[in-house]
Amino acid sequence: MALTFYNTLTRALEPFKPLQEGKVGLYTCGPTIYNFAHIGNFRAYVFEDLLRRYLEYRGFEVKHIMNLTDVEDKLIRTCRETGQPLKALTAKFAAAFFEDVATLKIKPAQLYPAATDHIPEMVEMIKVLRDKGHTYEDKGSIYFKIGSFPGYGGLGHMDLSQLQSGASGRVDADEYEAEEARDFALWKAWDADDGEVYWETELGKGRPGWHIECSAMSTKYLGPHFDIHCGGVDNIFPHHENEIAQSECATGKTFVNYWLHCAHLVVEGRKMSKSLGNFFTLRDLVGKGIDPVAIRWVLLATHYRQPNNFSFDAVEAAKQSLNRIRDFRIRLAEVRGDGADLAELCEKCRAEFEAEMDSDLNISGALGAVFNFVRDVNKALDEGGAGVRGAQNALDLLDRLDAVTGILAPSTEEEAPAEIMDKVLARQQARRDRNFAESDRLRDEVLAAGWVIEDTPKGPRVKKA
């Protein structure tokens, strides 16, 4: 079965065909680094990570570019209010973002180009658009005339005549300077509020609009026409719509073949908002002692086009699921002797996993296949029907699937400290003496210290509680 993606452009499932055999150009809209990213943002980045990892699993060489938006209204306001230079502010949050990416085991993109490092590229593209008659100037700012691009509205399937100016409440329409409210800024002329944030260019003194950065940088690093562009559904209109307009008008080429967008995340069934008290950054959650891999699990385990309901019950369930996988791996690692090689079970799991993932990254179905595998192999182990080779085959398969999901790795927990192990040994002696009151007392002590004892035929196993 062929790898298939749902393309926002056509609103249909399409077999994936890269422009170049075996290679994929992937551009994903990254964060605006004016604050710590929240878990809703990471839902998108985790989805993109899954996409990228699965493409690599499928043998594609993926060139993944994620931009960092480091000049924008909120940033400029903060600079003005705090007196900090723009770069100092963005450097701090960029560093925080990369820490968070590592925490969630997101595979880093090959490149994270920042908007402010690509002003010349943006100026160049705006000049081309100007020369081709797609722009107009007003009070020093340059706007893109959407009426000059016949395909405008194709991605969002928007009927332009129905657009209500300012309906989102995000802008003050009265202050808007474009000829038509639907037109968008390519270049914004400097005004006093911008303070020190400006560039002197052939277009005048000012700063770029938001949309142009993605067009300029994706073209620079992936070429004018590339394979996949991702983002959250909120990016469909206007951001991606505008990117298409700019890029296709500037280069005369098709911009992107496949547009993939993920649905939003809600928390406890409600839109995440500070007033509801359900707004979380990754740091907030890790600070509560939640295993980051459990967070990754919750963000990942819902199909990307479904709304994801992040709840603490779901985190708890994910944590238990993780334990199940980790315990399973421990059990496999302890297998000794000859026995079945489990080749059939491994092959069945692999085939089901791939079939589900091929189908527009159906991760829920794919994880279902993994859990069926865990159950079937556990059963084989119970019946003494598996040997070292089988266990190794199973572990190898989990490693391969972990390369895709990032949630099937062994526990990285440390060994229990010596004083705990002393108590474990003392408990063993008490058990041999059939002094169960003492052995249970020692087990409770060990548990109180944060370690769980599981007795196995080969002796006690000690795990972090």
For RNA, the binding residues in 74-103 under the rule CB under 7 A are: 74
Please identify, using beta-carbon distances, which residue of 396 and 440 lies nearer to RNA: 440
Q: Among 43, 82, 77, 54, which residue's Cα sits nearest to residue 272?
A: 43
Identity of the residue, 91 or 266, whose beta carbon is nearer to RNA in the bound complex: 266
Question: Should residue 433 be labelled a site residue for RNA when binding is judged by CB under 7 A?
Answer: no
Q: Which of 192, 165, 164, 191 has the alpha carbon at shortest distance from 176?
A: 165
Residue 204 engages RNA in binding (rule: CB under 7 A): no
Contacts of 406 (CB under 8 A, 6+ apart): 49, 53, 105, 106, 107, 293, 296, 300
Among left, alpha and beta (phi > 0; psi -120 to 50; other), residue 459 is left
Assess 65 for contact with RNA (CB under 7 A).
Answer: no
The least CB distance from residue 462 to RNA, in Å, is: 11
Cβ proximity to RNA: between 132 and 270 the closer is 270
- Site for RNA, residues 39 to 58, rule: CB under 7 A: 40-41, 43-44
Angular region, 68: left φ>0, alpha ψ -120 to 50, beta rest: beta
Under the criterion CB under 7 A, does residue 181 sit at the interface with RNA? Answer: yes
Closer residue to RNA, CB minimum distance, 251 or 428: 428
Please pick, from the candidates 92, 205, 253, 270, the single residue that binds RNA as defined by CB under 7 A.
270
- 151: Cα separation from own chain's centroid: 30
Cα 94 to Cα 34, 76, 101, 239, 297: the distances in Å are 9, 16, 11, 22, 24
The span from the CA of 289 to the CA of 284, in Å, is 9
Residue 456, beta-bridge partner list: 459
Q: Which is nearer to RNA, 9 or 374 (CB)?
A: 374
Q: Which of residues 389-428 bind RNA (CB under 7 A)?
A: none
Nearer to RNA, 18 or 49 (CB): 49
Q: How many residues does the chain have?
A: 465
Q: How far is the CB of 280 from RNA (least distance, A)?
A: 11
**Contacting RNA (CB under 7 A), which of 88, 440, 450, 459?**
440
For the bound state, the minimum distance from the C-beta of residue 351 to RNA, rounded and expressed in Å, comes to: 14
Residues in 280-339 that interact with RNA by CB under 7 A: 298, 301-303, 305-309, 311, 313-314, 316-317, 320-321, 323-324, 327-328, 331
Span of 35-43, 57-65, 89-97, 282-290 interacting with RNA by CB under 7 A: 35-43
One of 159, 174, 175, 415 touching RNA (CB under 7 A) = 159
Give the phi and the psi of residue 169 in degrees, each rounded to 5: 75, 5
Among 23, 107, 182, 348, binds RNA (CB under 7 A): 182
Task: Collapse the DSSP code of 114 into the 3-class scheme (helix H, G, I; strand E, B; otherwise coil) and give the result.
Answer: strand
CB of 1 to RNA, least distance (A): 12
Q: What track of x and - describes contact with RNA for positions 205 through 244 (by CB under 7 A)?
A: ----xx--------------------xxxxxxxxx-----
Determine phi and psi for 424, rounding to 5 degrees: -60, -45
Nearer to RNA by Cβ, of 53 and 329: the residue is: 329
Do residues 180 and 220 make contact, with C-beta atoms less than 8 angstroms apart? no
The yes or no reply on residue 185 touching RNA (CB under 7 A) is yes
Strands 199-201 and 141-144: unpaired
Cβ atoms of 240 and 39 closer than 8 Å: no
